[in-house]
Structure 1
């Protein structure tokens, strides 16, 4: 089974997560990694068939475009995806 990680500064938002869930519905094991808080919204981890949403502070200060590579690389080593988006 193919594995995909989608990681970004705004993937926590509903419309962005739906891309990951749609991919999972096609049979691709998908993990979405994004910030726990986005605007005034707060997100918790959840799992569905072939899908895992993992809030992780990979994007943060000094801007949403700065990534904490140590946490991200740790997640990659656990998941070992075929594709990173």
Structure 2
């Protein structure tokens, strides 16, 4: 089932149609081509997929994409300087 969601990603407002079964990790890596958020254990243990949602660190591999509607999200790409350095 697809749903329309709106959120702010790395300072940019986004509006997308997403599948209800997607995780935030899938959205970031597969749909938005943001490879900085890594897929490690896919069980929330390793922290490779950590992003910031509304000022709280979460595991994107476990976070349902439907729950980001209205959220502010920062990925590693959003923390980088314009030169690409962290």
Q: TM-score interval w.r.t. the shorter chain? A: under 0.3
Could you tell me the TM-score, scaled by structure 1's length? 0.26
